[in-house]
Structure 1
Amino acid sequence: MKIVTFYFVILKEDLMVSTATKVGNFTFDNCLMNAAGVYCMTKEELAEVEASAAGSFVTKTGTLEARPGNPEPRYVNVPLGSINSMGLPNNGFEYYLDYVIELQNQPNTKNHFLSVVGLSPEETHTILKKVQKSDYEGLVELNLSCPNVPGKPQIAYDFETTTDILTEVFSYFTKPLGVKLPPYFDIVHFDQAAAVFNQFPLVFVNCVNSIGNGLYIEDESVVIKPKNGFGGIGGDYIKPTALANVHAFYQRLKPEIQIIGTGGVKSGRDAFEHILCGASMVQVGTALQKEGVTIFDRITKELKEIMAKKGYETLEDFRGKLHYIDR
């Protein structure tokens, strides 16, 4: 009898537990993927993620023209995460657009996310109109949250501008589109942002980008050069903020707008918590930068072990089912 019971546990963990997921009409064998900005600058880096256990990849946020970004040092690993002020270095959106089109025409390819943004509303529309006319059939992410371009505010903190941009975008853009968001910190801002997003046929929102304009000091000096050391904070520092944003939007957005959870993910437990708060997919950023693409195997294994222990066979068994203290 003991032998039969042991065999059942192995069978359940290995064959019944699945981390597959769905965003819009797109399916993914695994809910884990990279966060934009990590392992996505070049085709070679994207190919590494493509060949890994990750269920998908998102490209580096592409602008209308290629950008060198901010001066270095602009990214530094710190004990509980990272600080960066990259300044949107990228090879131009057409570089990434061409690559995802190339991949989608290959057999057994994964579904992908193309991340884009303009340095002005006009540039954003120019980019999206070209994507609309292209042969690309995957998901598109409009990054409304870059915190590290000097002189450029985060679009998503301006609800009027966000509404204007999305209104015009959806007057011509018919492909599946989502938005990358900065962290919000006030309940009323969750309410106001959700009211904006619920007006539009968005497929997903991605919560969150790094917490903008943090400062890390070693001895008597800042550790990055741009903006006198001010930069976006990632890693362990931001997980509670990321979880709060994921769950706040899960509570407020219409069901057809799904959530990608990003922030502080370095273990299966971290991924589990993002899904528990309502995420359909989970992105790995700082930890991926530190550990490399083998992290997807490790986190997937840890997540499956947690699911098996709790008796969950699919992500839908626990997605969004965060418990509250009622008494």
Structure 2
Amino acid sequence: MGATLDSYFLGNTYENPFMNASGVHCMTVDELNELRSSRAGAYVTKSATLVEREGNPKPRYHSTSFGSINSMGLPNRGFDYYLSYVIAQQGEAGKKNAPFLSVAGMSLEDNLKILGAIQESDFQGVTELNLSCPNVPGKPQIGYDFEMTEMVLGKVFSFFRKPLGVKLPPYFDFAHFDIMAEILNKYPLSFVNCINSIGNGLYVDLENEITVLKPKNGFGGIGGDYVKPTALANVRAFYTRLNPGIKIIGTGGIKSGQDAFEHLLCGATMLQVGTALYERGVSIFETLERELREIMEKKGYTSIDEFRGKLKSL
């Protein structure tokens, strides 16, 4: 019997742990339907703001030798567009459960209004609240303001009763892992997603001596190979600090079965693919599935749970 990639997340069983990262191949219904028809185990909508946004001026994405840099500015079709879609997918026969719904209000008031609408709606699936939006000019990241994070979660869980997780920015200091974990453990979160892109990198076009992005004077979020060590560190740090009931979604630098295995070994339950999906399209999920299974079978594992979180230290 070969290895199974079955993944158990919040009471649902997925054929494999792979998903798109919110922001990649999930803007329109057509793109979401392509994800639904792909080999991805699950999928998530574009982070929705209360009203539709065009996003930042172009060029706002650039491929690099080791990944990507972007300053998208949350372009999306608006909350109602995505809520209607995820409700329509509920209960539909097939291999996937309803898609995850990602939301990112431009203010605390917007977040509370959006989550209030979800709470009152027929949507029974998983919601991701994006606390890490580094590419909106003039807007700080909630996830780097610990007092604000605690205030937001306190207000949200005063009324929100459905499955909810948060997407976090990367942290770089043990003290910050400790502080954020202490805050997150106070609330009935379903998961944390580690990590969003590393904010405010800069990439230079040497030939023309100019930045490659137009918004924010060229500053943008870094993704791809660059960020995998940071992503693995954040997955591991929160896996070892959070209550067992809070699952981890690993995001950052996943483009091969080895990358996936490492995220799972560090403690992730589901895995999101961003830069590699943008560059290679939905066919990447079939490749990731095959490569992860090959590694597991070579190592003698028949299920992910046999090695998840069991990273050894020297």
> TM-score when scaled to structure 2?
0.98
Compute the displacement of 1:106 (Å): 1.9
Structure 2 counterpart of 1:46, one-letter code: L
Q: Does 1:287 align with 2:287?
A: no
Per the alignment, residue 137 of structure 2 pairs with 150
Q: Give the SS at the match of 1:276.
A: helix
Where in structure 2 are the equivalents of 1:151-190 lying within 5 Å?
151-190=138-177
CA distance in 2, matches of 1:256, 1:24: 9
Compute the displacement of 1:29 (Å): 1.3
Q: Does 1:224 align with 2:210?
A: no
1:107 to 67, 78, 93: 93
Compute the displacement of 1:110 (Å): 1.6
Per the alignment, residue 97 of structure 1 pairs with 83
Structure 2 counterpart of 1:244, one-letter code: A
Q: Does 1:45 align with 2:39?
A: no
- Say if 2:252 and 2:272, in contact at 8 Å, map to a contact too: yes
What is the aligned residue count? 311
2:226 to 217, 229, 237: 237
CA distance in 2, matches of 1:75, 1:148: 11
- Say if 1:104 and 1:110, in contact at 8 Å, map to a contact too: no
- Cα RMSD after superposing both structures: 0.7
Compute the displacement of 1:25 (Å): 1.7
Deviates more, 1:270-279 or 1:17-26: 17-26
CA distance in 2, matches of 1:106, 1:29: 16
The higher radius of gyration belongs to: 1
Structure 2 counterpart of 1:29, one-letter code: E
CA distance in 2, matches of 1:134, 1:270: 37
Per the alignment, residue 9 of structure 1 pairs with none
Where in structure 2 are the equivalents of 1:1-327 lying within 5 Å?
12-13=1-2, 17-108=3-94, 110-111=96-97, 112-219=99-206, 220-325=209-314
Structure 2 counterpart of 1:214, one-letter code: G
Unaligned runs of 5+ in 2: none
Structure 2 counterpart of 1:143, one-letter code: N
CA distance in 2, matches of 1:205, 1:91: 24
CA distance in 1, matches of 2:6, 2:167: 22
CA distance in 2, matches of 1:105, 1:275: 29
Unaligned runs of 5+ in 1: 1-11
- Say if 2:15 and 2:95, in contact at 8 Å, map to a contact too: no
Post-superposition Cα deviations, 1:237-271, rounded to whole Å, max 9, x if no partner, equal 00000000000000000000000000000000000
Among all aligned residue pairs of Structure 1 and Structure 2, give the percentage whose two residues are the same amino acid.
61
Q: Give the SS at the match of 1:231.
A: strand
Per the alignment, residue 6 of structure 1 pairs with none
Compute the displacement of 1:109 (Å): 5.4
